[in-house]
Amino acid sequence: MANYDVVVIGAGPGGYVAAIRAAQLGFKTLCIEKGVNKFGKPAFGGTCLNVGCIPSKALLDTSYKFHEAAHGFDVHGISASKVSIDVPAMIKRKDDVVQQLTGGVGALLKANGVTVAEGAGKLLADKKVQVTRADGSVEVHEAKNVIIAAGSVPVNIPPAPVDQETIVDSTGALEFTSTPKRLGVIGAGVIGLELGSVWARLGAEVVVLEALDTFLPAVDRQIAKEAEKILRKQGLDIRLGARVTGSEVKKGKVTVAYTDAKGEQSETFDKLIVAVGRKPLSADLVAEDSGVKLNERGFIEVDEYCETAVPGVYAVGDLVRGPMLAHKASEEGVMAAERIAGQKASVNYDVIPGVIYTHPEIAWVGQNEEQLKEAGVEYKTGVFPFAASGRALAAGEPAGMVKLIADARTDRILGGHVIGPAAAELVQQVAIAMEFGSSAEDLGLMVFSHPTMSEAVKEAALAVHGHAIHIANKRPRK
């Protein structure tokens, strides 16, 4: 048995960051990781680096480059004939990126003096942590403090049981060796739209079945409607109000039964991706006498600083309330480590951006119009379309808009919503402004480089008060 100041369970974006920060603060730190990647090495970086954020973006970038070469070069006067895609080569590149980054995380843990244990971690009573290795051997460590960061797993549904061959989850969808002729996707959320986009660009006929009647309900309605229009135009067959009731795999294909407003329907696909969300990986993670409480959905109960009912025991990331986002997990990991050190660290949950990496990207931060209406908050909006941006037109990226929402009385920025080129980067500018309590006027007064995509942020801020220069304003200037 060894003694540690801090034991971290999980080496994903919440865990490895927490472990590194704890070590930087002078704590003797142990980080436990049970995951093993497809190459038999520890899955440092968790879902994000191994089967989530990073590999999906690698495939999204490759597929977009192929699609642009095959369909988008002519307008630039570039001729490209017989463009083809080598799917195994694309998958290998994705794997190379993953290996480089996960190896880098391992090197960072070592460089910061973090001890790594391979195996399944479990919190016992009195802040003891059990590690069960793959060979079944068990060791127990004593900890003064514990940070639980075990992450989440895909949700499975009984009507479409995953076999990782014909019916796959988000992990299996990253491993196709060829482009399916017909691809079904259950779920029109972030994961479903991103993975559907990858294979649609490579030539698959993609049908997205979404049980809800509203497209992207968490996204500002104006942005969501624009996104639905663009994605449908790109070829995604998005069917709302389609509730899957069953599936049958036969001769390498899957027939999916579902109901919608027209009644009972069915479609046959070469592959089916189940992307209906994720759930916390909390099973067998904490002993009943550990003192840590789980709610009925399997989330660990924590306070605003991610501390559990047991002093000195924290839980972060997908295991706790809030959005399941890698960057949220990382910030919580840092907060937990710093609070263990006695610092007054916190996370501003009102300014956590969300992104969907379709093309164009969809990104948002803060509140949307629907939330503000429900809360009875008076607000003003400013919208600037990329069709009026010189840089966007020059780049052939005129679709989408930047939308800024500000308090009608104080002018403080309450939310930013973007669909368009570099949306993930542009919304971060709004997030920075919000973090410092900026007003729409403040943002409109800033000097932006010309020509840039980011000028659309400035123009949207100006449009809040009817002062936009490069579009006709809805309200006269006062």
Catalytic residue numbers?
450
C-alpha neighbours within 13 Å on the C-beta side of residue 382: 33
Tally of CB atoms within 10 A around 237: 16
DSSP 79: -
Separation of alpha carbons 188 and 215, rounded Å: 7
C-alpha neighbours within 13 Å on the C-beta side of residue 371: 14
Query: At 284, which amino acid appears?
Result: D
C-alpha pair distances (Å), 47 with each of 59, 193, 205, 278, 470: 16, 18, 28, 11, 43
For residues 98 and 37, the answer to whether their CB atoms sit within 8 Å is yes
Structure tokens at 141: 């460590």
Separation of alpha carbons 188 and 232, rounded Å: 12
For residues 395 and 347, the answer to whether their CB atoms sit within 8 Å is no
DSSP letters of 139-196? EEEEEEEEEE---EEEPP-TTS---SSSEE-TTGGG--SS--SEEEEE--SHHHHHHH
Separation of alpha carbons 174 and 154, rounded Å: 14
Cis bond before residue 154 (omega within 30° of 0): no
Q: Collapsing DSSP states into helix, strand and coil, what is residue 258? A: strand
Tally of CB atoms within 10 A around 388: 18
C-alpha neighbours within 13 Å on the C-beta side of residue 393: 6
Structure tokens at 163: 């076999």
